[in-house]
Amino acid sequence: MSEVVASEIWRELKRFVNTVDRAEAAETVVQILMDNDSEVEDIRDAFKGDADIKRALTVYLDNDKDYVDEDDVEEDEDFDDFNDENWEE
Protein backbone atom coordinates (compact mmCIF):
# COMPACT_ATOMS: atom_id res chain seq x y z
CA MET A 1 0.00 0.00 0.00
CA SER A 2 1.39 3.37 -0.84
CA GLU A 3 1.99 5.90 1.88
CA VAL A 4 -0.19 8.48 0.13
CA VAL A 5 -3.20 6.15 0.01
CA ALA A 6 -2.62 5.16 3.65
CA SER A 7 -2.50 8.84 4.56
CA GLU A 8 -5.82 9.53 2.84
CA ILE A 9 -7.44 6.53 4.53
CA TRP A 10 -6.05 7.62 7.92
CA ARG A 11 -7.34 11.18 7.50
CA GLU A 12 -10.83 9.92 6.68
CA LEU A 13 -11.02 7.25 9.39
CA LYS A 14 -9.22 8.84 12.33
CA ARG A 15 -12.24 10.94 13.23
CA PHE A 16 -14.09 7.69 13.96
CA VAL A 17 -11.37 6.55 16.38
CA ASN A 18 -11.83 7.69 19.97
CA THR A 19 -9.26 10.28 20.98
CA VAL A 20 -7.85 8.01 23.69
CA ASP A 21 -7.30 5.25 21.12
CA ARG A 22 -5.70 7.33 18.35
CA ALA A 23 -2.13 6.85 19.53
CA GLU A 24 -2.46 3.08 19.36
CA ALA A 25 -4.26 3.27 16.01
CA ALA A 26 -1.51 5.52 14.59
CA GLU A 27 1.15 3.11 15.86
CA THR A 28 -0.66 0.32 14.03
CA VAL A 29 -0.69 2.33 10.80
CA VAL A 30 3.04 3.02 11.10
CA GLN A 31 3.76 -0.64 11.91
CA ILE A 32 1.82 -1.82 8.84
CA LEU A 33 3.63 0.65 6.59
CA MET A 34 7.04 -0.32 7.94
CA ASP A 35 6.23 -4.03 7.66
CA ASN A 36 5.45 -3.40 4.00
CA ASP A 37 8.84 -1.81 3.32
CA SER A 38 7.82 1.84 3.42
CA GLU A 39 10.66 4.26 3.92
CA VAL A 40 10.63 6.55 6.95
CA GLU A 41 10.99 9.65 4.78
CA ASP A 42 8.08 8.55 2.57
CA ILE A 43 5.87 8.16 5.63
CA ARG A 44 6.94 11.56 6.95
CA ASP A 45 6.17 13.18 3.60
CA ALA A 46 2.78 11.52 3.18
CA PHE A 47 1.62 12.23 6.74
CA LYS A 48 3.23 15.63 7.31
CA GLY A 49 1.22 17.71 9.69
CA ASP A 50 -0.38 14.71 11.42
CA ALA A 51 0.76 14.77 15.04
CA ASP A 52 -0.55 11.26 15.81
CA ILE A 53 1.44 9.61 13.04
CA LYS A 54 4.50 11.72 13.85
CA ARG A 55 4.45 10.52 17.47
CA ALA A 56 3.81 6.93 16.38
CA LEU A 57 6.72 7.04 13.95
CA THR A 58 8.96 8.41 16.70
CA VAL A 59 7.89 5.59 19.03
CA TYR A 60 8.51 3.02 16.29
CA LEU A 61 11.97 4.37 15.55
CA ASP A 62 12.86 4.57 19.25
CA ASN A 63 11.95 0.89 19.57
CA ASP A 64 13.65 -0.17 16.33
CA LYS A 65 17.25 -0.93 17.22
CA ASP A 66 18.20 -1.64 13.58
CA TYR A 67 17.12 1.77 12.22
CA VAL A 68 19.85 4.37 11.85
CA ASP A 69 18.87 7.85 10.76
CA GLU A 70 21.44 9.03 8.21
CA ASP A 71 21.41 12.50 9.79
CA ASP A 72 22.49 11.03 13.13
CA VAL A 73 25.49 9.15 11.77
CA GLU A 74 28.80 10.83 12.52
CA GLU A 75 32.04 9.97 10.84
CA ASP A 76 34.50 8.48 13.29
CA GLU A 77 37.87 10.03 12.52
CA ASP A 78 39.69 7.32 14.45
CA PHE A 79 37.97 4.50 12.55
CA ASP A 80 40.68 4.41 9.88
CA ASP A 81 43.28 3.95 12.62
CA PHE A 82 41.32 0.99 13.96
CA ASN A 83 41.68 -0.83 10.66
CA ASP A 84 45.41 -0.19 10.60
CA GLU A 85 47.43 -3.30 11.49
CA ASN A 86 49.59 -1.31 13.92
CA TRP A 87 46.78 0.54 15.71
CA GLU A 88 47.77 -0.76 19.15
CA GLU A 89 51.22 0.80 19.02
Q: What is the residue extent of each domain of the chain?
A: 3-63
pTM for the whole thing?
0.70
CA atoms within a 13 Å half-sphere pointing along the CA-CB vector of 15:
4
Distance CA 24, CA 33 (A): 14
Per-residue pLDDT of the chain (89 residues; tens, 9 = 90+): 589 999 999 999 999 999 999 999 999 999 999 999 999 999 999 999 999 999 999 999 998 766 666 666 565 555 555 555 655 55
Give the integer Cα–Cα distance in Å for 4 and 9: 9
For residue 84, give the DSSP letter: S
